[in-house]
Amino acid sequence: MIQKSMSRKDKSFSQLIQYFEKEQVIDRFSWNLYSNIKNKEELVKEFMQNASYLDQSRGTLFMYHEVLALQENKLSIKRQKEILRELTKQYVQKRANEHLVYGVIHNDTKHLHMHLMISSNKIAQNKRVRLSKKEFAQIQKEVELYKNQVFKNELKQTHFYTQQKTQTREKVQEQEIKYRRKKQTKKEWIKEQLEQNFYRSFSQSALENSLKEQGFELYQKGNTQGISFENKNYRLKTLGLEQEYKQTQTKFIKKEQREEKRSEFKQERNNRKANPRDKTYTQSKNQSSARARWENKRSR
């Protein structure tokens, strides 16, 4: 799994999409977008609108162009696309969960790869998000570990990001086992499970259902929010998750608002398709009125 990142210091969204379209696109990917991802003008408009929130006096970084590629394998193109989409989803959740993301899959090299265009700011926020080298390296390691564990029977094990130069393969394998079997206290384990559920869920109902399947249940007593597990209550504040839960709820609200906006956008587009003559009729009516006023003025 190869992951590269390049920044762009201008609003060349249209140019980058055009670059994506130079090669044959065999699949597309989107994150937090309500536009028709096959419509270049709508995509550019949405990215430009989000970029307008940026504080222009604090830098000129507007987007990232990033690439994720699979190593050579003997899988079918269909299966490769499925795996690459899943790895991209994992990557974007960690890298740019609240940003606008548009991607395309190309098959013009030996490696099936995904090109991504990522907004530099979160949705409707004025600050640019810059990851440090350490933060980006950690994401690369986590995605590679995920790939090695989940698709170990389909893709070769790689250690581009999990292996130090002085480490042997055996040492890396030991680290991966330690990663999977890390000893934790019960509270640490509960906290980890809740964090994963907060991260994965995209609605309050989905969160509650996911927690219920694992034996958890959210509760609220006055201003105190907590979780019940195995007949014992744990306060979110005690677990250090109170603020993260609030941010998760805010994420749900923003997603609902985006869904409403997407629905309105689609309805408006459908209305235009259903009544293509409305605009022509209005223009014709306005032109007739203007012509009548001019004739009236001339007769005087």
Give residue limits of the domains in the chain: 2-180, 186-255
- Over range 276-285, report the average pLDDT: 52
Across the chain, mean pLDDT equals 83
- Over range 34-44, report the average pLDDT: 92
What CATH architecture does domain 2-180 belong to? 2-Layer Sandwich (3.30)
- Over range 58-84, report the average pLDDT: 90
pLDDT on residue 171: 56
Q: Which residue is it, tokens 């969960």?
A: 97
Q: What is the SS3 assignment for 127-185?
A: CECCCCHHHHHHHHHHHHHHHHHHCCCCCCCCCCCCCCCCCCHHHHHHHHHHHHCCCCC
pLDDT on residue 166: 43
Q: Which helix (H) or strand (E) holds 219?
A: strand 216-221
CA distances to 93, 248, 255 from 258, in Å: 17, 15, 5
Confirm if 147 and 158 have CB atoms less than 8 A apart.
yes
Helix axes 133-150, 169-180, angle to 10 degrees: 90
pLDDT band at 177 (very low <50, low <70, confident <90, very high): low
Better pLDDT: 110 or 61: 61
Distance separating alpha carbons of residues 254 and 226, to the nearest angstrom: 23
pLDDT on residue 199: 77
3-state helix, strand, coil in the chain (%, to 5): 50, 20, 30
Distance separating alpha carbons of residues 43 and 117, to the nearest angstrom: 11
pLDDT on residue 101: 96
pLDDT on residue 34: 87
Confirm if 201 and 210 have CB atoms less than 8 A apart.
yes
- Tokens coding 118: 């990522």
Q: What angle do CA 113, 116, 121 make, to 5 degrees?
A: 160
CA distances to 79, 294, 298 from 287, in Å: 57, 11, 16
Distance separating alpha carbons of residues 231 and 292, to the nearest angstrom: 81
Number of DSSP helices (H) and strands (E) in the chain, helices first: 10, 8
- Over range 147-153, report the average pLDDT: 90
pLDDT digits 0-9 by tens, 184-240: 678 888 888 888 888 777 788 888 988 988 899 999 888 899 999 988 999 999 988
pLDDT on residue 100: 96
pLDDT band at 102 (very low <50, low <70, confident <90, very high): very high
pLDDT at 281 exceeding the cut of 50: no
Better pLDDT: 26 or 247: 26
pLDDT digits 0-9 by tens, 111-148: 889 999 999 999 989 899 998 888 998 999 999 989 99
Say what percent of the chain tops pLDDT 90.
37
Q: Is the dihedral of CA 56, 131, 16, 92 positive or negative?
A: negative
